[in-house]
Chains A and B, each alone.
Chain A
């Protein structure tokens, strides 16, 4: 498009040049020239349109034209120079002719304007053509005019001297040009000189021509009502081309017949390409494989808003603090500012700074891949077997043994499991048949004195030991597994006679400890080996009875141990304490509790192991007995499995006391519990 416009502009300029020439030549025909000019203008406009309209059809011609024009432009001045003298001559010599010619030309123009306009058409006065004029050096004439008559050289030939004199003397010398074709000198008029000057400067020849007149914008952003071209699309644009189809089918046929062969793949055997890192160590390569994406910029928060909620704006103290702080200590790198509208937000002054920091962050911060472990919190809970799978254990209350009138302090089951003995605060020991809950015998031991009665049934015989107030309160008795020895506890802060071991067969007692190591809570014999467990308030001491030395001291992390039970295997101990905890000690593992069970709400008063089933139970003042499954493995590497399986309720809390003692049936998975409500309950 531009090109077209340029062309038109050039064309126009050329026309105008010629017009000017005409103006110069014949001033008489001014009106006609004006008309012509008007016509030309319209013409040029037309040509612009026409050029637009069928640009495709005659583009070649145009280009040619333009090429020619360019050529002409190059030697424009010379052409003018060459033409001009002749014209003046003609003016001088044959005015009529010139006038006639112009008239004729005008007529011709009216007939066919392009005839005059064509670039080939020159005002030819000499018809010899474009030959070296030296050839006419020896002739009196210099050529032939249109009528075939000789054009004679000027009479006096100027030599160098004349030329020099002329140069010196003639004031019009500078505006005199020599026409080589006619051999005459032409003195240019002022208008012509002006024109030459203008053209040399690259200006339009016409002084009045405004080269910057407002142009009409065709292709604007405005949607026009009519299309630029209203030509309907060709039919051929809709239908597949037959020629192309033919070509394609020919190619296909050629490929089928093997005339066309696919391009041969260049074989790479010569080793033009090779793996640069083939010999590289794989560990280094592996390191490079790790792609760490750049950390994302945190999304802007409310502080960054141009209109933040008022709570994000700084108060004066905050602002003062912010200003006082070191830039690195600030929580926010900027002060939140509120603007009433986004229009009023100024340019971001920290932009460069922020970009710089970001860049620093991106290339200076060493990064490493953090292996994030996604852990499901439920997976952290140890996998405990379901209580259902740990059957049998006591679940329901089956029998209630009623008869006591005071709190039942302690209970014990005969080794056969047929009888149950209980000691109560009412000063009696009762014997019950387990399966019928019938009290078979009542033995009054303490008379009127209400003292805790503690008893234990030894294994091979059915002796029952009971303790009562005899000077001092006997707190507990414990049988040795063989049934010959019996240990009794009389808690006393000051005395070293807290624990006594009695031998039944020889009817004598001995005091095993020389020193008082604290208030003894309970004692127990090891079921197999000659060990003796003594629980004081905070710890459990294990004594070797043969070597007569202390072998271990278990630290129960509790304030006051209330009860203790030794596993029938002898390697585990449970301790109940008044601060609601039951601690399981693995003697092979550590002197610290292997597990602390805090299931009870109130003080734990009793603890018991089952003799054959992997069960243990704890009784508490909250009126409940909690039965836990505790499997002990022979494998030293495997820790005991402890699962609470059942909470047994039934006892009524009386005087803030719940269950006082708990014991298991020796053969069945049944648990007996005695409570402050003067009952004993059997849970099966």
Chain B
């Protein structure tokens, strides 16, 4: 965490600065921030004389460095204006604001967009990926400030539809899985690729670690790959087709949704494979999407072809916490925002967001 985005407010008319986020080094302290403000005011008004400011962060005086202060006060770097990226069968991807406004339409693919992913969301420009049925992955650069979109790279190489794409934690690489049974790892900056072969269509990929890629496939296996060697580290054997997997760094478990309506939890560290820790059974159709909560160790959300999104707590594996019955058709994807909102998209062309409070969930 090197840079932080911050906005500055004041009630004093004399010291007002622009209401835009500024990127500030995390290590900066009160003096540094005062300098920044003074510089801004000086740029606006040449007659400005230097003033020493004090800063309140959520009603607390900033005494140490910003990063330390945030650590001690438990403030996360969640931005309220995280954008939501969706890909759709109409060959486009869209960027949405949390409030539900379509901010941007990403059009460029010649076929259905199967998966999308953010590469980088820091700063004003963000990088995003769209994987499509037209066998390509496109990398886009989106300037949120100017709301401009530019296609950066077109990643060709797959011979089948690219069904899934995932970015690694260092934001420098991404991985794509395709129907041509290949898993390709691409470097986000210079275009570079490494191939790994699966035996059947790769349905879902994700990065467990900066060194490990985990892929779920229709050949009933979940494989953990080492990207350095390009070989399989662990193979978890299932009995049914896996549609999706999700990894939680908090509890170090894999959750998989398969075609037999069960959500299974795996421990990827076991070497012998085929060890199901837990089965969550409540869906009546294929489970098409599972996602662990980013901030909660035990919660995961799942979407299924039975039009339901379910919120689970792994401590009560018999029944889901909530059935979110908003969709009128098949649910194809679910996700969490970092602020704790749940998202789900389905065949009824709608994207729903759900908010989970301690007591209730609202759409």
Contact = CB atoms under 8 A, between A and B. Distances in A.
A392 interface: yes
A436 B345 CA distance: 13
Contacts, number: 36
Contacts of B332: 436
Interface string A653-682: 000000000000001100000000000000
Interface residues of A, number: 15
B113 to A, nearest CB: 13
A684 B260 contact: yes
Nearest to B241: A668
B347 A398 contact: no
A137 B112 CA distance: 176
A70 B112 CA distance: 146
Contact of B259 (A391, A398, A417, A418): A398
Interface in B71-92: 89
B241 A438 contact: no
Contact of A399 (B161, B200, B305): B305
A418 B259 CA distance: 15
Nearest to B259: A684
A435 B305 CA distance: 10
Residue of B112, B218, B332 ringed by the most chain A CB atoms within 10 A: B218
Given A399-B305, A417-B201, A436 B330 contact: yes
A398 B285 contact: yes
B161 A438 contact: no
A440 interface: yes
A437 B285 CA distance: 13
A416 interface: yes
Given A398-B285, A398-B286, A667-B218, A416 B201 contact: yes
Contacts of B241: 668, 684
Given A392-B239, A398-B285, A417-B218, A667 B260 contact: no
Contacts of A436: 330, 332, 347
B332 to A, nearest CB: 7
Contacts of A668: 218, 241, 259
Contacts of B347: 436, 438
A667 B240 CA distance: 12
A667 B200 contact: yes
Contact of A435 (B89, B239, B243): B243
Interface string B328-353: 00101000000000000001000000
Interface string A375-394: 00000000000000001100
Contacts of A667: 200, 218-219
Contacts of B240: 392
B185 to A, nearest CB: 22
Interface string A537-561: 0000000000000000000000000
A391 B286 CA distance: 18
A392 B218 CA distance: 14
B217 to A, nearest CB: 11
A431 to B, nearest CB: 12
Most buried by B among A392, A398, A435, A437: A435
B160 interface: yes
Given A398-B286, A667-B200, A437 B243 contact: no
Q: Is the interface of B mostly helix, strand, loop or mixed?
A: loop
**Secondary structure class of chain A's binding surface, majority of residues:** loop
B201 A418 contact: yes
Interface in B165-211: 179, 200-201
Contacts of A416: 160, 179, 201
Interface string B230-271: 000000000111010000000000000001100000000000
A437 B160 contact: no
A136 B219 CA distance: 155
A392 B238 CA distance: 12
A437 B330 CA distance: 10
Contacts of B218: 417, 667-668
A437 B89 CA distance: 12
A398 B239 contact: no
A435 B260 CA distance: 13
A315 B332 CA distance: 86
Interface in A472-499: none
Contacts of B89: 438
Contacts of B239: 391-392
A440 to B, nearest CB: 7
Interface string B87-104: 001000000000000000
Contacts of A437: 330
A435 B287 CA distance: 11
A398 B201 contact: no
A437 B347 CA distance: 10
A418 B133 CA distance: 11
B75 to A, nearest CB: 41
Contacts of B285: 398
A666 to B, nearest CB: 10
Interface in B100-122: 112
Contact of B160 (A392, A418, A440): A418
A668 B243 CA distance: 13
A391 B238 CA distance: 13
Nearest to B219: A667
Interface string A414-442: 00111000000000000000011110100
Contacts of B160: 416, 418
B101 to A, nearest CB: 26
Contacts of A398: 259, 285-286, 305
Which of B89, B219, B239, B241 has most A Cβ within 10 Å? B241
A668 B218 CA distance: 8
A391 B259 CA distance: 15
Contacts of A440: 112
Contact of A418 (B179, B219, B243, B330): B179
A61 B161 CA distance: 139
Contacts of A392: 239-240
Interface in A75-117: none
A455 B218 CA distance: 26
Contacts of A435: 243
A398 B305 CA distance: 8
A416 B112 CA distance: 18
A438 B349 CA distance: 12
A398 B243 CA distance: 13
A436 B244 CA distance: 13
A418 B161 contact: yes
Contacts of A391: 239
B334 to A, nearest CB: 15
Contacts of B201: 416-418
B260 to A, nearest CB: 7
A684 B285 CA distance: 10
Contacts of A438: 89, 347
A438 to B, nearest CB: 6
Contacts of B112: 440
Contacts of A684: 241, 259-260, 286
B64 to A, nearest CB: 52
A436 to B, nearest CB: 7
Nearest to B243: A435
A417 B219 CA distance: 12
Nearest to B181: A416
A391 B330 CA distance: 27
A304 B150 CA distance: 112
9 closest A-B pairs by CB: A418-B179, A684-B259, A398-B286, A668-B241, A416-B179, A667-B200, A438-B89, A398-B285, A436-B332
Given A398-B285, A399-B305, A417-B201, 20 more contacts: A391-B239, A392-B239, A392-B240, A398-B259, A398-B286, A398-B305, A399-B286, A416-B179, A416-B201, A418-B160, A418-B201, A435-B243, A436-B330, A436-B332, A437-B330, A667-B218, A684-B241, A684-B259, A684-B260, A684-B286
Interface of A: 391-392, 398-399, 416-418, 435-438, 440, 667-668, 684
6 contacts: A391-B239, A399-B305, A416-B201, A417-B218, A437-B330, A668-B259
